[in-house]
Amino acid sequence: MFLFIKKILALCICVSGLSAQIKLSVNTIPKRVEIFLDGNAIGKTPIKNGNISIGEHQFVIDEDGYAPLKYDLIVNSSESVHLDFFLNPIYKVKFKTEENSLIFELNNEHQWGEKLIRLELEAGEHFLRVFKLGEIIDEQVIMVDEPKSFEYFLKKPIIEK
């Protein structure tokens, strides 16, 4: 399951003369995360004295327990590039209901009809829609900020356990 992720990025490019190699620093939360630049591993964060060339580049971060991150960057002539990435955690979530004939949809893409399902979801808000006989009967926003269990009751708000 590949979920789109939210990313927080602070980018500071200090302009100077024309230089082929530009100083690169990369920080992440959490630390000690492998960074890939244009498909090549360049080390674990924090990266203090890396180099990057002028042009188009792609950073990829895929750390266990966190949502994968891809970031495209166009580097112009500058003295340095500094990147800060905050990786969004993934949590184990369980949805349960005793109701019959319901179809659940999460974030307009994932659907299920089982009474019990376990998912791994990125931290943050998620949109839950409930269908019965092809009609929407409920819509709710759920917050995932830790491993959780949700129990759904018809005509009642979702209960967080």
**Distance between CA 134 and CA 30 in Å, rounded?**
43
Last residue of a domain, one of 71, 86, 101: 86
Query: Residue 6: what residue type?
Result: K
Please count the structural domains in the chain.
2
Q: Does 47 share its domain with 106?
A: no
Of 64, 86, 108, which residue constitutes the final position of a domain? 86
Separation in Å, CA 2 to CA 13, 19, 69, 74, 95: 31, 38, 10, 25, 19
Domain range enclosing 37: 8-86
Q: Rounded to whole angstroms, how far apart are CA atoms 71 and 69? A: 7
Task: Say how far apart CA 161 and CA 148 lie, in whole Å.
Answer: 7
pLDDT tens sequence across 74-87: 999 888 999 999 99
Q: Say whether both 102 and 76 belong to one domain.
A: no
Q: Per the structure block, which two tokens stand in for 7?
A: 């990313």
Is 53 in the same domain as 117? no
What is the C-alpha separation between 122 and 67, in angstroms, rounded? 6
Both 82 and 95 in one domain: the answer is: no
Query: Which burial class, exposed, middle or buried, applies to 88 when counting CB atoms under 10 A from its CB (0-12, 13-18, 19+)?
Result: middle
The tally of CA atoms less than 13 A away on the side-chain side of residue 7 is 19
Mean pLDDT on 82-110:
95
pLDDT at residue 4 greater than cutoff 90: no
pLDDT band per the 50, 70, 90 thresholds, residue 156: low
Q: Is residue 2 part of a domain?
A: no
φ, ψ for residue 93, nearest 5 deg = -130, 140
| pLDDT tens, residue by residue, 20-44 | 689 999 999 999 999 999 999 999 9
Residue 68: the pLDDT is: 95
Say which CATH number the domain at 144 has: 2.60.40.10
pLDDT tens digits along 117-135: 999 999 999 999 999 999 9
pTM exceeds 0.95? no
Work out the average pLDDT over 144-152.
95
**Residue 157 pLDDT:** 59
